[in-house]
Amino acid sequence: MSSTMPNSLADGRYQLGQLIGRGGMAEVRVALDTRLGRTVAVKIMRADLANDQIFLSRFRREAHAVAQMNNPNIVNIYDSGEETVTAEDGGTEHLPYLVMEYVKGQTLRDIIKANGALSQRDAEQVMLGVLNALEYSHRMGIIHRDIKPGNIMISEQGIVKVMDFGIARALDDSAATMTQSQGVVGTAQYLSPEQARGETVDMRSDLYSAGCVLYEMLTGRPPFTGDSAVAIAYQHVSEVATPPSALVPGLPKMWDSICAKAMAKDRQNRYATAAEFKTDILTFMNGGVPVATAFNPLTDLSNMKARKQAEQNDPTATAAMSPTMAMPTAAMPGAAETATTQAFNPVTGQFEAIPAMQPAGGTTVKSRAEQRAEAAQANRKKKIIIGSIIGAIVAIIAILGIYVALHGGASMVEEQVEVPDFTSMSGVTKDKVRAELKKLGLTPKITDDATSDKPEGTVTKQDPDGGTKVDKGTTVEVWFSSGPQSTTVPDVSDMTQSKAISTLTSADFKVADTVQTVDSTIEKDKVVKTDPEAGSSQAKGSTITLYVSTGKTAMPDVTGQPLGAAQQTLTGMGLGGSMSTSEEYDDNVPEGSVISTNPAAGEYVDSTMTISIVVSKGKQPVKQVTLPTTIALGTNSATVSAVTAQLEALGLKVEIASGNPTDGTAIVTAVNPGLGQTVDEGSTVTLTTKSATNSGSNGGSGDNSGDDGGNDGGNTGGDGN
């Protein structure tokens, strides 16, 4: 039963991003913690292992083990939980996950793979970080049990981080070295001898693995390699690694001693604590002599081989070895005076001292019978040693046999290949997948994925995952998208934002944005509507916008603001759905700014209302008026009444010059401004007037040079005379 990996966890709190790592038990993705706004790494158990109680307990144990630890050299665990997902058969599964500190950098494995052996200084700094982490975890009562380069991160700032406590156990629970399927836990190339033999483990088992890591950093290769995990485990139990200085010319032999101390077969001869291991490294790098120089089986490998060859040629060779050939122990006071013969024990990984038999006279003289007896005793010891080795091998084979029986007879030593990761490749076709898998000896199975929102022909998933090692002949199923399918947008109105996102995500939609909107009918922080709207048919994978209610709110005062700023304020409050504008002249409000709104400021509104906005056109422009030239000034037609009516009809004001006749029948003789002049509407025009008839005295003054009125006056005056 396979399930689809969700896009988010914890009701949308952790938005999952790209895949950054994959292991045998889980995959790791980068994610955004939307609540705290930080980048994290989320480790999610593989769906096919979700019902395996062994792996579930391992996964939960890791969360429990690391959650109680806080050390700069250990990757922190922030959160854990289980996500409910829908499987392909319609059932539900619970995927456990861990939210961890996101470390941007590389694993030590990748660094060694790309660059080879590290410098002595770099190897020292990395090892000190690892030992700091182990010293802390051991003090907290936790044994890691899987120290290897792949579980050591080096950040971009050079900080060493130990991770993956997936098989860690408490010290009082360390006897459980095997899984229920009798599989030895740990990684073969860094496995302690007691782990390989299925015995109890303790802190020194971690230190053995750390010694293997130090060896690989110095040489660029693990201490033991082989064609299978069984072959490598056998070497850890019974063989001694080549000294690092023999592989790296110029490397100080003191590193041989430090590695030998850490990788001693018998844990009694290893470093007792991580602090002791760390002290030796610091002492050596600062020019001192570490305690580890007291014992060095790696550098004595050639002597061991020479003695074995001598014993094969002459059974009495060991007994006849002179004191000058014996190897004294440098740590023992007076070693030169009490020289001893040392025999190598491949079970313990040590050279064990055999005191020389000396008579009272001080010379070593033995009879032939004594020499034969000692040779026979040496043979018996050798048989015991060989029997121990064979017993260990038989135990390992028995473990493998039980594992094979529990897994349907599948052979662990059967040739395995790595499954390609088709999901990360571009331009992958069905034919290409078939050809690639057949070339690797795997059986392809192509399946159409009708639930994917990706373009048709895109690889959506595969089982087993890319990077997994499987036996040849294994079926690898690869799903290809048959194109986005349409589905109905669910109605999430009146839901909380997190629940709405979860509902839409489960319906194969994406939520890209949320918009705050005012709605007095919907409780604050609950969904008002979606865009596209609920009930509409949309392609799977489409983006949905959520409109979230801010509840009932008061109309803001936007008077005096420019129209654009006012509209932006209203839209930001969710009131911009329906707005209308009109314009009016206003001498007090600048052009383009808001004069008033309806509803007015302070009134309660919601997003369903239409907001009316009155915008100022500025000051009303003044109309220009031209004084008519048709007025016959000074004539009987240009009476004050007639001229006044004509000018007022044009929007002008009329006044009579001081001292002039104001009677309506008076004659207008002049206007100011003059006829034909353009003036502002409402301007005042001053009229100069005279009486309609003149007296006799006035008539005498008339002459022919005056206007028509003057002539009339002159004629009248003449008649008077």
**Binding residue numbers:** 43
What is the number of other CB atoms lying within 10 angstroms of the CB of residue 255?
25
**Helix or strand or coil: residue 345?**
strand
CA–CA distances in Å: residue 35 to residues 11, 15, 27, 40, 524: 11, 10, 23, 12, 19
Task: Report how far residue 31's alpha carbon sits from residue 8's, in angstroms, rounded to the nearest whole number.
Answer: 9
Task: Report how far residue 276's alpha carbon sits from residue 397's, in angstroms, rounded to the nearest whole number.
Answer: 35
Which phi-psi region, left, alpha or beta, contains residue 574 (left: φ > 0; alpha: ψ -120 to 50)? left
Task: Report how far residue 669's alpha carbon sits from residue 656's, in angstroms, rounded to the nearest whole number.
Answer: 11
Tally of residues, the chain = 721
164 is catalytic: no
> CB of 495 within 8 A of CB of 526?
yes
| Nearest residue to 492 via CA among 542, 517, 527, 540 | 527
Task: Report how far residue 275's alpha carbon sits from residue 206's, in angstroms, rounded to the nearest whole number.
Answer: 13
Kindly give, in sequence order, each residue whose CB lies less than 8 Å from that of residue 210, ignoring residues fewer than 6 positions away.
Answer: 127, 130, 131, 134, 147, 262, 274, 277
What is the number of other CB atoms lying within 10 angstroms of the CB of residue 365?
9
DSSP string, 277-294: HHHHHHHHHTT---GGGG
Q: What sign for the dihedral angle of Cα 277, 279, 284, 290?
A: negative
Task: Report how far residue 495's alpha carbon sits from residue 522's, in angstroms, rounded to the nearest whole number.
Answer: 10
What is the widest separation between alpha-carbon atoms in the chain? 197
48, 79, 146, 173: which one is catalytic? 146
Kindly give, in sequence order, each residue whose CB lies less than 8 Å from that of residue 36, ignoring residues fewer than 6 positions away.
Answer: none
Burial 336-364 (b: 16+ CB within 10 A, else e): eeebbbbbbbbbbbbbebbeeeeeeeeee
Residues of each annotated binding site for ATP: 43
Q: Which residues are the active-site residues?
A: 146
